[in-house]
Structure 1
């Protein structure tokens, strides 16, 4: 049953993820977190962050990892194929068809109408992540991280993977220092 659910979940993502990987992320979230509850928001955010640091399409990477987590190697193959299968079929069918009708106004209008919908989906997911980060670290730190990320990625042009890797390393280093500080405090209290 879980393999059928994996196939259906990622097939829907593959079918409806118009516009590439970023538009697929909210769809993956809806299937994985909201519908099937294979992971929670924190786990999804971790998978998304790590997936963004790796090369290749995000939807395929997420499908592979989530498929493996839910159904092992067979789940990985199942989820990955169900994500890319619609794209392969639609590319072959639609590109041959659309190339002959791409200049019709209704086709151009359809393509233009999808962009704001994808923007709203991404904004909704961003707001959900912001609320989650505000809950875990507070408003000031959350806003500081958002501002810093915006500065480094949009203004300075750093690749998001660089920002994510630096933050992961900083988080590990800070976490490693806390137990040392706590043990020093405990030793001070014991004397």
Structure 2
């Protein structure tokens, strides 16, 4: 755990330089094992190792490509915060009006989609910020919950995502507010009263 924390604290350029030779070596060893028709156990072990080290080095390379902060991402979140306050600031507790899903992973996913705006982006590319984890799909769903027009599709059998617009769908705001209240176990306002305030009762 400590080594992971130390690695994450490094600058992306330093992680890239540090990990790249190991990634190159791992890929070469995997390729050699595949070419020689090595034992299944050896090939699989090399594959698992090379997949992990390549995922780490690609994450570092992505960080170099997309330094934080992403102005557009924060502008959209600010826009949503204003709209939530305008609609429900007088009738709903302020803690329910916070904009969720603002992690660095959410931001990086948005940056990738924005760079390739209105084009299909393979899900594999979008897994890089989470080191090839399927959690990226969940984070993308959360971005859609904010009202972003991100459409999932398939291209040649590959899952893809496309950012079609930077205009938010404000009709989703009641659901965002309600989800915030659920996370706080409706401690600040009874559920029935909240539903009435949101017009969802």
More helix by share: 1
TM norm structure 1: 0.26
Higher relative contact order (CA 8 A, sep 6+): 1
More strand by share: 2
TM norm structure 2: 0.25
